[in-house]
Amino acid sequence: MAATADALPGVSYVMPVLNEAMYIEVAIATVLAQDYAGAKELILALGPSTDNTDAIVARLAASDPRITVVHNPDVDIPVGLNRAIRASKHPIIVRVDAHSELEPGYTSRAVETLERTKAANVGGIMHARGKTPFQSAAARGYNSRFGLGGARYHGGGDEGPAESAYLGVFRREVLEEVDYFDETIRRGEDWELNLRIRAAGHTVWFDPELKVTYWPRDSWSKLARQFCATGIWRGELVRRYRGRNPWRFFVPPVLVLNVLASAILLVLQVTGVVGGWGSALASVIYLGPIAYVLLVLWLAFGADRSSKLLDRWFFVVVLPTMHLSWGVGFILGVVRGARDSVDTSRAGI
């Protein structure tokens, strides 16, 4: 028998918003259209957008009393999330992204999974999609286990305890217990929060039946800036948490260092500084970049023949952009810390 509305816990959706005129209306519509029978509210943490986002949000908020707007002049996502959570009233907190679209049964399934597993946080699969050839190629990178390191919320996997969760459906009391999102972290805040949740003795749970559509950045410059900023903050997290970081964080920076070393060796060989047997032995270093190029070409043209030819060529550009930008950022973050680095891809330029 289905639970009645009175028996179900109320749900508060929290969404940080900045320069999302292309996506925000549909994102909000998928939240409000959830088939969950319990009480619902949506709290938008609105940053100082430079596009038409503010006008769209104002129109939607005026037409639906379930929508509340809190202002986030600091722009940072963790700050906005905390402001939205503190302005909310229900015991279940559902994080939503302005670049995302929820399946109609997402909330009902997530609340049922929370109750069934007694977990503190539940998340599912980020299913990236694209509207243009470039964005479709970026989405393919997100969905590939070679793109973002094989985490289950990208490629799928068995239901069970997890290291982290995409977006997340939380118990409010657990967020209060661990003191919410860390506002000193501008990227990677989800992973860090889930680390503290697990350290406090709670469970983070992956449920592959939960699926969220995600729209990646739609240009090369935005994608490169996003991944560089993410890499910088992952480097900062390694500085803070050292051995508690997964091994996959270190693959892109190793690739960057291998490419850099290969470029230096090539210059030394061409100019005659390095030659003879030493040059031949040192040339082994080229195997890394060569293997990587072959892998990218195989993924683009051999592993998946269903994509359009233009999408495949974009993929050849997109995947190295993701890996190298992330790797460069990671090295910067480890060496000097994140400092005041921000994700300028959200600035609408």
Residue-wise DSSP of 79-96: HHHHHHHHH--SSEEEE-
- Kindly state the average pLDDT of the residues 280-285: 89
| Cα 304 to Cα 75, 129, 239, 297, 300, distances in angstroms | 39, 16, 38, 11, 7
With beta carbons less than 8 A apart as the criterion, state whether 107 and 152 touch: no
- pLDDT number for residue 145: 80
Q: Which helix (H) or strand (E) holds 115?
A: helix 106-117
Banded pLDDT at 310 (limits 50, 70, 90): confident
Half-sphere exposure of 307 (CA within 13 A, CB side): 26
Query: Which of the residue ranges 18-27, 113-122, 148-157, 305-314 would you say has the lowest mean pLDDT?
Result: 148-157
- Kindly state the average pLDDT of the residues 193-201: 96
Distance CA 250, CA 274 (A): 29
Distance CA 335, CA 26 (A): 40
| CATH dotted code for 5-217 | 3.90.550.10
Residue with tokens 């707007």: 69
CB atoms within 10 A of CB 321: 20
Distance CA 193, CA 204 (A): 10
- pLDDT number for residue 151: 65
- pLDDT number for residue 348: 58
Distance CA 186, CA 47 (A): 14
Banded pLDDT at 156 (limits 50, 70, 90): low
Half-sphere exposure of 46 (CA within 13 A, CB side): 21
What ranges do the domains of the chain cover? Answer: 5-217, 238-347
Distance CA 135, CA 142 (A): 10
